[in-house]
Chain A
């Protein structure tokens, strides 16, 4: 249930932005969650909703951008989706060394204030 802790740090960051921006309300929040971040977007949403009651973010729309897992071949530099983990390594050159290029994200991207 660590989505609760992550949702808490997200809300903390959102409210901090709202406080610094002297906002009455938060209109919209965009977070980025990678497919390999270990965080379930739905569980995050659930926790975030539970926490933001009675805060200035209570009425905000929450957009979760889900970032797919991508790999980058160390040998030829090709980028590709790795959701199905192809056994043959890099689809372009067959190289075995593949770096994670995307999918580990866990970020607060934007906050819209009024």
Chain B
């Protein structure tokens, strides 16, 4: 287990961010009680996915996205790879032509949600408490809190973590994994499950690749080995370099109704 919750202890906000707190443990249904009766030994073939409940909620979310003609994109990365910065840029670029909404998962704060506020773009912050990933039920509550009329593109920023978001289907149409040039080139080799499940991979912070001695070709090769199915977007969310191809990708998703 490589993820560790971090807290930043910043104050509360008084603006238009919608808050969804899913950290209340009382929400969980109690374990079923038993009524013991003696019997003989039997083997029951169960063969059920352990994330069955999450999978079912994810399917319900997916059906809702389809009914509303929304394309949902789940953005996943380690902490600090640049998800929020990329979303800011993306909203600036696509905002005028595509109706967007944003769901941001975070352990404690609504910093990111406030950074993402734009006129006409509803933003909901999902505070996960101790959970190091978003799950389908949290997303269901998030979308219930958002005004989704007319929304074409729902951008979901997952909790910064390269491990568990791989296991939790949110009902998204596309899962996009972000790595940055400030991390090692071998990230995909260390966290294969997430990259295996990625529809696209973003290599962010190419503006500092050279300074950090980051070899983009080596990184590209590592991504292709684990995620041959995924197109790779090399860009800088800071300078905007390479952003066009990413925006074209999103535009195409929205146009064909992903």
Contact = CB atoms under 8 A, between A and B. Distances in A.
Contact of B40 (A16, A19, A114): A114
B231 interface: no
Q: Interface majority SS on A: helix, strand, loop or mixed?
A: mixed
A56 B46 CA distance: 17
A113 B44 contact: yes
A5 B131 contact: yes
Interface string A34-55: 0011111001000000000001
Given A22-B35, A112-B41, A1 B52 contact: no
B167 A39 contact: yes
Contact of B31 (A1, A3, A11, A37): A11
Given A13-B50, A38-B167, A85 B40 contact: no
A23 interface: yes
Nearest to A51: B31
A104 B133 CA distance: 18
B131 A37 contact: no
Given A15-B34, A22-B39, A27-B41, 18 more contacts: A2-B163, A2-B168, A5-B135, A6-B167, A13-B48, A13-B52, A15-B32, A23-B36, A24-B39, A36-B192, A40-B1, A85-B189, A87-B225, A89-B228, A107-B48, A108-B50, A109-B45, A114-B39
Nearest to B188: A85
Nearest to A109: B47
Contact of B194 (A1, A13, A38, A109): A38
A89 B131 CA distance: 36
A100 B221 CA distance: 18
A113 B167 CA distance: 29
B49 A107 contact: yes
Contacts of B242: none
- Among B40, B192, B221, the one with the most A-chain Cβ atoms within 10 Å of its Cβ is B192
Nearest to A100: B196
A107 B47 contact: yes
A38 B193 contact: yes
A58 B128 CA distance: 30
A9 B52 contact: yes
A110 B192 contact: no
B43 A110 contact: yes
Contacts of B229: 97
Contacts of A55: 31
A106 B46 contact: no
A63 B50 CA distance: 15
B221 A87 contact: yes
Nearest to A20: B44
Contacts of A78: none
B193 A9 contact: no
- Among A5, A11, A69, the one with the most B-chain Cβ atoms within 10 Å of its Cβ is A5
A61 interface: no
A31 B46 CA distance: 10
A70 to B, nearest CB: 12
Contacts of A27: 41
A112 B94 CA distance: 55
A12 to B, nearest CB: 6
A98 B49 contact: no
